[in-house]
Amino acid sequence: MKQWGIYIAAAIAITFVAVVAMHPSYRQRRMVTQLQRAPSAEDKVRLIQEIIDLSPASAGDILEQYTQHDPTVAFDPLHVVGLISDTTSGKVHIVGDGMLASSFSVGDSPAAKFREIRFLKSDSLLTRFILLEVEGLATPRYREYRFRYDDGELAGEAFDSVRPDDITRWQAEGIWPF
């Protein structure tokens, strides 16, 4: 009879470990460890999208923390959308909740690559990211990537140059990320 108690205790322990290991938040945190070691932008895109797909509700906070250590990734936790810069190819990858991962590039020259991407701000209607072009330019050049929302659904995207008066306004608001 004593032996049955050991088997039952072992079965409970194994079940507990399996449940914890399969929980989305545990799996997301494990993927962040893989993300920190990801050798390429494509690997980052894949892992970030998997983290989002597991649980969009907790992905926002997890990925927002990760972006503090990787200047090539920016993330909006409100709309669960992010940008990843591939500093080798010049592509910028887009990931998000309910989105298919996509990418875009700007021109063919090395100057069209972005060395840093930062989240600027978001509200119910708009998410804004600022992209800093690669070094080697006399004056830093910034671009803005916006997602527009209508009733919580993605309604459009826009990519524009950042003007000096934009920077001045955002600095006065205390939200300029650079």
Q: Looking at the whole model, is its pTM more than 0.85? A: no
Q: What are phi and psi of 160, to 5 degrees?
A: -140, 160
pLDDT at 20 over 60: no
25-39, 45-59, 86-100, range with the lowest pLDDT: 25-39
**H helices, E strands: number in the chain:** 5, 8
DSSP string, 111-127: GG-EEEEEEEEE-SSEE
Half-sphere exposure of residue 11: CA atoms within 13 angstroms, side-chain side: 6
13-17, 59-63, 101-105, 116-120, range with the lowest pLDDT: 13-17
Residues in the chain: 178
Average pLDDT, the chain: 85
Please tell me what DSSP assigns to residue 135. S
pLDDT digits (tens, 9 = 90+) for 98-150: 887 788 887 665 556 888 999 999 999 999 999 998 766 678 889 999 999 99
